[in-house]
Structure 1
Amino acid sequence: MSKLYLFPISVFLLFQITFLVTYIASILQNHVVPDVPYISDSATYSPESCIFGQLINTGCVLLGITIYIRYRQIAHVIDHHEVLKELVEKLNKRSLYIGLISAYGISIVANFQETNVRPMHYVGAFTCFGLGSLYLWHSSIISYRLEPYLTLKKALFRIILSVFSTIFFVIVAVCGVISHIKFNGQDPRHWYPSDGGFRYHVASSVSEWIVATIFSFFILSYTDEFKYINFEHPQISFIIIEQEIETTILVEAIDANIEADA
């Protein structure tokens, strides 16, 4: 059995543990109120921000590898079933680019705190959740079109996750904007019901946690498929050495011709 299945499991566990650890740490440090803060709000101040940034960066690398393995898996299926080429080849390539950019967006969110560089934090959040939802849709459609090579049950499960991801992403964005417009408190990290827009804030932050959890479970759904594929090391060639060998052979051939003519 291949060990590639450990990648989606690692991504799932690492993200969930990171969210939970930073949430608990931020509450113990009194950096946020326990009433469901945004995930990134739990990692605004040190030491939570240090832990969050380090673990999320590691998770993004593992996520990128997982997305690439998934891309190569589908590409291999296409190579052996020509009928699928028109159905999923372009989708598969787009899903790779979208997925990698989304993973990079997660890293931006982790490293550019809202209190320090707000515009970049929002760009990262939109890249992460917006393109992340788009990646889910691409992968779900691919799974559906691969039937019967992939079970219809799993494809429908991924489609359901994509639907809920999109719905809650919209709630995150809309309620988040409204809540900040209505907010009249001092610090959004300590958002109380009397500060205005509290209900919208809770709706937005809860939705963010749901979207992040959906993403994690979606990646986890690759586990069974990764058990039955193997990934070989890329071929390495030394261009300079090969050129020198070719040059040596050419010189020897010329010398041989000269001697023959003489």
Structure 2
Amino acid sequence: MWWFQQGLSFLPSALVIWTSAAFIFSYITAVTLHHVDPALPYISDTGTVAPEKCLFGAMLNVAAVLCIATIYVRYKQVHALNPDENLIIKLNKAGLVLGILSCLGLSLVANFQKTTLFAAHVSGAVLTFGMGSLYMFVQTILSYQMQPKIHGIQVFWIRLLLVIWCAVSAFSMLTCSSILYSGDFGIDLVQKLHWNPEDKGYVLHMITTAAEWSMSFSFFGFFLTYIRDFQKISLRVEANLHGLTLYDTAPCPINNERTPLLSRDF
């Protein structure tokens, strides 16, 4: 059996591969059509102009669904492993809420381009990166609380390093973008897709875009740490029958009739 056939390990793998493909394909399309510069554009800039914005939006919507599925499976796994730990239960629920908000932000980023609806786009970016960073932090605390009984200390250290990487990237991006968009470097920066080294604020722009890409990679690395955990979990779906037909008639006297919908791991 291949590693991606074990349990639900394919889920975080598919999330990272699909999201990376969305970034790569939209980037290649945007650069080929000369809509953005090859040197580190904003991720959102590669999905601003048609046709790449259509590809970018469609693929990120699928990525948001995969992300919600991954976050939910992780939530159920932690819940099953620690049903009586009050702190872990609270952190697990908080992580679920933060993760769903981050996925909602990803969908907003995908469907509202910064050059058309800047407020909606920025709100989505704040949800994606802000709530996503907090989700990573909560899951790292959970990893600490669950060792050494549930898993080894190595997983905690790896996730902690990824959270630190994410925090440094986020701080750099927030600081430089705040200075860049303060008004001292032009008033039309939102619509600007092409930058020259001679432009005012070019260095700040490059630092901001590099930090954005770096932060995204930290997210990818964090979800890849789920692969080994997900190899140890499977889902089973069952159908509960309340009657012998699908018509709106009186309930069947047969109670608790249960038919497995899927007999193998899902």
Normalised-by-shorter TM-score class: 0.7 to 0.9
What residue is the counterpart of 2:64 in the other structure?
60
Residue 251 of structure 2 corresponds to residue 245 of structure 1? yes
Asked if the contact 2:37/2:193 (under 8 Å) is kept, the reply is yes
Asked if the contact 2:6/2:232 (under 8 Å) is kept, the reply is yes
Task: Tell me the distance in 2 between the aligned counterparts of 1:194 and 1:88.
Answer: 52
Alignment of 1:1-262 (within 5 A): 2-79=6-83, 82=84, 85-148=85-148, 149-180=150-181, 181-184=183-186, 187-233=191-237, 235-236=239-240, 238=242, 244-245=250-251
Deviation (angstroms), 1:238 = 4.3
What residue is the counterpart of 2:263 in the other structure?
none
Unpaired stretches in structure 2, ≥5 consecutive residues: 255-266
Asked if the contact 1:10/1:62 (under 8 Å) is kept, the reply is yes
Could you say if the C-alpha distance between residues 176 and 147 of structure 1 is closer, same or farther in structure 2, counting changes exceeding 3 Å?
A: same
Asked if the contact 2:11/2:70 (under 8 Å) is kept, the reply is yes
Could you say if the C-alpha distance between residues 177 and 230 of structure 1 is closer, same or farther in structure 2, counting changes exceeding 3 Å?
A: same
Asked if the contact 2:196/2:202 (under 8 Å) is kept, the reply is yes
Q: Which amino acid counterpart does residue 185 of structure 2 have in structure 1?
A: F
SS of aligned partner of 2:193: helix
Deviation (angstroms), 1:235 = 4.9
Could you say if the C-alpha distance between residues 203 and 234 of structure 1 is closer, same or farther in structure 2, counting changes exceeding 3 Å?
A: farther
Deviation (angstroms), 1:231 = 1.1
Task: Tell me the distance in 2 between the aligned counterparts of 1:99 and 1:236.
Answer: 30
Between Structure 1 and Structure 2, which shows a larger proportion of helix residues?
Answer: 1
Q: Which amino acid counterpart does residue 96 of structure 2 have in structure 1?
A: L
Q: Which amino acid counterpart does residue 116 of structure 2 have in structure 1?
A: N
Q: Which amino acid counterpart does residue 120 of structure 2 have in structure 1?
A: M
Unpaired stretches in structure 1, ≥5 consecutive residues: 250-262
Q: How many residues align?
A: 244
Deviation (angstroms), 1:24 = 1.4
Asked if the contact 1:178/1:197 (under 8 Å) is kept, the reply is no
Could you say if the C-alpha distance between residues 236 and 50 of structure 1 is closer, same or farther in structure 2, counting changes exceeding 3 Å?
A: farther
What residue is the counterpart of 2:262 in the other structure?
none
Deviations 1:81-127 (A, max 9, x none): x3xx1231100001001001101101110110000100000000000
Deviations 1:13-32 (A, max 9, x none): 01111111111111111101
Deviation (angstroms), 1:182 = 3.6
Q: Which amino acid counterpart does residue 33 of structure 2 have in structure 1?
A: Q
Task: Tell me the distance in 2 between the aligned counterparts of 1:42 and 1:168.
Answer: 20
Task: Tell me the distance in 2 between the aligned counterparts of 1:62 and 1:126.
Answer: 20
Query: RMSD over aligned Cα, in angstroms?
Result: 2.1
Deviations 1:185-227 (A, max 9, x none): 7752112222211111111110000111111111111001111
**Normalised TM-score (structure 1):** 0.87
Could you say if the C-alpha distance between residues 182 and 160 of structure 1 is closer, same or farther in structure 2, counting changes exceeding 3 Å?
A: same
SS of aligned partner of 1:150: coil
